[in-house]
Structure 1
């Protein structure tokens, strides 16, 4: 046997969760706990290490104070569960300084969890480990391994995220055909430590259903594009996927022509769909509601300044897609579909706040969804979309200590998100006063 005489302590974990037994009492808050209860004033959250020990009225914290807990007075402030961005891409292509800057801004902006919707998982897996153990500041990362038809893998992005290997032939980015050994393919995807398989494009209904069934048999979730081409939205939902992404793709449920491939999308019936009353979509939304399928709408993406284009055709396309996103997202909400708040982009590096704030404001102001419902989407429903609502998403005893504190009530005005003063993620405090925007150095 070899005796190890020296072992490195490893990288510093400046942002590690506190140890069990470290008690902190947050007093005086008005709390929106995400459970469906009305906001409650004069509340106290007692945190033990990385977990919430109790949530109670001010009069019920004597025992915690007697244990010598640290007391943080937040009288006059407002708290919600940690926010979730349900659609991020942190490594297309991989760029560690850029990713770390994005993650830092996210967590100091109140985002305690993100879904990474397929990337170079060699890179994302390391980022997930680093944020989890506290080497770098950032939210928890839940990520997907991608599956698509072989024709999809001439997309330049697939080569960006498989550098040094072959796109379509790696565990995190697999080309699927009728001849694929699906139990092995799913097992390879699970071996990346992914939270889910993302079904992207160029698969028919039978293959979407087969991948979904095998993934669920092996205990892993399935996150899918709302239309997979040629599989329709109805066929994707019928397959039993857990979430669908991009509300504008749901418009293809009304297509009368064939959905041949991801790169050859047919036109949609824009005039009929922007009424928000299409019966084909009503039927689809009813099924999504009954099955508990979560919609990651990315509704505000087409209106984002960060994605603006000077080309007149691109401007018109963005305008029409924005109209479509507003109508279909509002229709989905009226039908009772659970909405998660994903972005699929980030704001400029000099912007002090993450893109998620823009998505939430879009849902309130452009889609007409009540602010309380939007905050529920950004918290509990977001954790459901990631499959971790048993761990986080509400401020309750036994859940992770993931919550955000604001100087002004975001339920009164969604722009009050910008009054954030503190993020608590797994019990670790990220005071907003400690945040400064860091523009990453350009790669050489």
Structure 2
């Protein structure tokens, strides 16, 4: 693409985002600015569970300056812990875990700033310090991300994707809701791709939205999935994809080298003798195709390929299990692509094969939910899949950071990384349900006490959402 063409592409993106309606943010003491660079705080005497899967370390100090962790070590051992002006927070008897990461959220389809802020607030005060937004109106998501980063709203950091899919997908009404004012498939954050598309220009347009990644969504053949992935990586964007892109099989999605695949259920379509021709065909996976017992050999091959390519699985398992349970009370509802038991089986085999699994939800909960949806995914991995608590916490922190491309700065408690962590009053390794014992979230060095949390309201959630 010529320099002139590339400049025109960036100008087009800039004009679209400049014309976007401003988002109104709630004011008040709940939206403090980030910690000043010269602020030094010592969090003293906690048991540290660092997110790497290592055993808990009792009686540790965490020294924080500004947004970052300066040092972690045994209580009383850290140089600089006696600095003038040092603020000490006594955490003896408490447990510290890295900030949680929900690796699959949707914040703006359609945009609703009041609802998004409420959900983000619920996340932050429960220990969630980052989320991965997987396809929305990026005019709204970008402003939410900026406001969160600036400390104007209490919210996790947001990393987001621009969508690419085949032209057939853009009849989906969600596209119109997330691209209002533009022709479906023509916005820089939701582009229709075919064999005639200039992929260099398409990826450049997506980059102009400040997206972290391209999401390869639907209705694309293997050659285009591969071409998009290669061009996105060339332009230093990650690639997040559905684990089956219909008609592209999971094996071809993985072979393309995408960084993360979403929905463990979709992986099972590798077993289908005839692959569904389009995403719009929601025929459930034929579960009788799985081996009757033990590990399925076809799935084992997929998981070996994922390990070879370093592919992360954003399983979203709790969504399928919950929906399956709801259908027992409401049998008139259409089934999802997989039942709960099959989803559990697929995720369990992936975990036992060593595939890294993140905690994505594809859900934001209702007004009556005191805790964020990521807690459901954490409990799904522990109780349904059978992962030990330390591994579940690693999935919810370090693997989530890797899925968002942010492991250099977050996901574990160690010197040099952002001061993103949650303080619990009970041991989550002994019982993963103790994640609900949160007393404080620290995000980028600023403390958000759980006691200050203001629950979401019906007015904020809108649409008569009362469940």
Q: Does 1:215 find its partner at 2:236?
A: no
Change (3 A) 1:232 1:320: closer
How many residues are paired up?
A: 434
- Paired residues of 1:257 and 1:266 also in contact (CA < 8 A): no
Number of the residue aligned with 2:330: 311
CA RMSD, 1 decimal? 2.0
Number of the residue aligned with 1:176: 193
Alignment of 1:67-216 (within 5 A): 67-216=84-233
Task: Quote how far apart the aligned CAs of 1:19 are.
Answer: 1.3
Number of the residue aligned with 1:26: 43
Larger mean Cα displacement after TM superposition, 350-359 or 78-87: 350-359
- Among 246, 266, 283, the alignment partner of 2:263 is 246
Task: Quote how far apart the aligned CAs of 1:17 are.
Answer: 1.5
**Take 1:18 and 1:291, find their aligned partners in 2: how far apart are those partners?**
38
- Among 438, 441, 457, the alignment partner of 1:423 is 441
TM-score, L = length of structure 1: 0.94
**Aligned-partner SS, 1:337:** coil
**Aligned-partner SS, 2:317:** coil
- Paired residues of 2:285 and 2:338 also in contact (CA < 8 A): no
TM-score, L = length of structure 2: 0.89
Deviations 1:298-319 (A, max 9, x none): 011023379945531437x359
**Take 1:377 and 1:139, find their aligned partners in 2: how far apart are those partners?**
17
Q: Does 1:373 find its partner at 2:379?
A: no
Larger mean Cα displacement after TM superposition, 54-63 or 186-195: 54-63
- Paired residues of 1:12 and 1:135 also in contact (CA < 8 A): no
- Paired residues of 2:206 and 2:214 also in contact (CA < 8 A): yes
- Paired residues of 1:33 and 1:396 also in contact (CA < 8 A): yes
Q: Does 1:388 find its partner at 2:406?
A: yes
Number of the residue aligned with 1:362: 380
Number of the residue aligned with 1:17: 34
**Aligned-partner SS, 2:414:** coil
Deviations 1:97-155 (A, max 9, x none): 00000000000010000000010000000000000001100000000000000000111
**Aligned-partner SS, 1:314:** coil
**Take 2:403 and 2:454, find their aligned partners in 1: how far apart are those partners?**
30
Task: Quote how far apart the aligned CAs of 1:255 are.
Answer: 0.8
Deviations 1:334-364 (A, max 9, x none): 1110001000012212221101111111111
Alignment of 1:39-58 (within 5 A): 39-58=56-75
Task: Quote how far apart the aligned CAs of 1:254 are.
Answer: 0.5
Change (3 A) 1:184 1:303: same
**Take 2:234 and 2:361, find their aligned partners in 1: how far apart are those partners?**
30
Task: Quote how far apart the aligned CAs of 1:260 are.
Answer: 0.4
Task: Quote how far apart the aligned CAs of 1:69 are.
Answer: 0.7
**Take 1:258 and 1:318, find their aligned partners in 2: how far apart are those partners?**
17
Change (3 A) 1:307 1:182: farther
- Paired residues of 1:303 and 1:319 also in contact (CA < 8 A): no
Alignment of 1:263-342 (within 5 A): 263-273=280-290, 275=293, 277-304=295-322, 308=326, 311-314=330-333, 317=335, 321-342=339-360
**Take 1:77 and 1:173, find their aligned partners in 2: how far apart are those partners?**
45
**Take 1:62 and 1:285, find their aligned partners in 2: how far apart are those partners?**
45
Number of the residue aligned with 1:404: 422
- Give structure 2 stretches of 5+ with no counterpart: 1-24
